[in-house]
């Protein structure tokens, strides 16, 4: 399935604590977010299923898909649109078999070797990163910079979204590098006005 990755929000419940996760996501969607991933390393499965169901209901009619980070069981039980997995998470083959052909499945990529061994036909998109070092993922891999991002994007047979330390002012360079969008946590979650924070990505400064 073709996806709009242009502005991809990855959630962080801690950062969104003051405004609330749902409010933050919906404000960000109003500002132009095109894709949402529910990511929570601390919630129980039950809490995450509940959160995913609420978000899915809130997003109904918006055309914005919701995927779940890491947890296949949460994706299956919540009615989310799919799953995002990394290199050490559930295998893509297992995820596709469990979720079916309509689900959206994304895979994280940091090297050309990972890209060449990815089961491309089972995937909908790739997450390329980190572009820069980031506080939002403590175990992140070596930063790619825009040159590394461009190499991966050029080699990717699938739509790709860049991630890691990205701010609104990077949007133009990311698209020039060949990625189809930017995935962000801290540039939107925890910002005083998530709608304005999202809008800023749609108007790259020159």
Ligand X SMILES: Cc1ncc(COP(=O)(O)OP(=O)(O)O)c(N)n1
Least CB distance from residue 19 to ligand X, whole Å?
21
Whether 2 is a known active-site residue: answer no
Is 134 annotated in a binding site? The answer is yes
92: phi then psi, degrees, rounded to nearest 5: -60, -40
Window of 23-31, 48-56, 124-132, 168-176 that interacts with ligand 3NM by CB under 6 A:
124-132
Window of 3-11, 27-35, 37-45, 67-75 that interacts with Mg ion by CB under 5 A:
67-75
Least CB distance from residue 47 to ligand X, whole Å?
17
Rg of the chain, C-alpha, whole Å: 16
Is 69 annotated in a binding site? The answer is yes
Whether 108 is a known active-site residue: answer yes
Does 193 contact Mg ion by CB under 5 A?
no
Whether 203 is a known active-site residue: answer no
Annotated catalytic residue, options 34, 78, 108, 160: 108
Instruction: Determine which residue in the list 96, 137, 170, 173 makes contact with ligand 3NM, applying CB under 6 A.
Output: 137
148: phi then psi, degrees, rounded to nearest 5: -65, -40
Match 């930063």 to its residue by tokens: 143
Residues with Cβ < 8 Å from 36, sequence gap 6 or more?
A: 8, 9, 11, 25, 29, 55, 59, 64, 65, 66, 67
d(CA 196, CA 1): 29
Active centre residues (catalytic): 39, 108, 137
């Amino acid at each position: 399935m073709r996806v709009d990755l242009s502005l991809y929000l990855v959630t962080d419940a801690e950062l969104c604590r003051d405004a609330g996760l749902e409010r933050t996501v919906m404000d960000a969607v109003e500002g132009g977010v095109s894709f949402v991933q529910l990511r929570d390393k601390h919630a129980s499965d039950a809490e995450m299923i509940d959160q995913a169901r609420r978000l899915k209901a809130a997003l109904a009619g918006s055309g914005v898909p919701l995927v779940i980070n890491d947890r296949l069981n949460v994706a299956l039980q919540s009615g989310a649109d799919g799953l995002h997995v990394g290199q050490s998470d559930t295998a893509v083959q297992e995820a596709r078999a469990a979720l079916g052909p309509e689900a959206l499945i994304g895979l994280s990529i940091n090297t050309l070797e990972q890209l060449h061994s990815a089961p491309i036909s089972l995937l909908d998109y790739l997450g390329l990163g980190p572009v820069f070092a980031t506080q939002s993922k403590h175990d992140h891999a070596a930063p790619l910079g825009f040159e590394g991002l461009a190499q991966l994007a050029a080699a990717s047979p699938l739509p790709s979204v860049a991630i890691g330390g990205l701010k609104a002012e990077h949007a133009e360079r990311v698209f020039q590098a060949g990625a189809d969008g930017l995935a962000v946590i801290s540039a939107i979650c925890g910002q005083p006005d998530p709608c304005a924070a999202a809008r800023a990505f749609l108007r790259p400064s020159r």
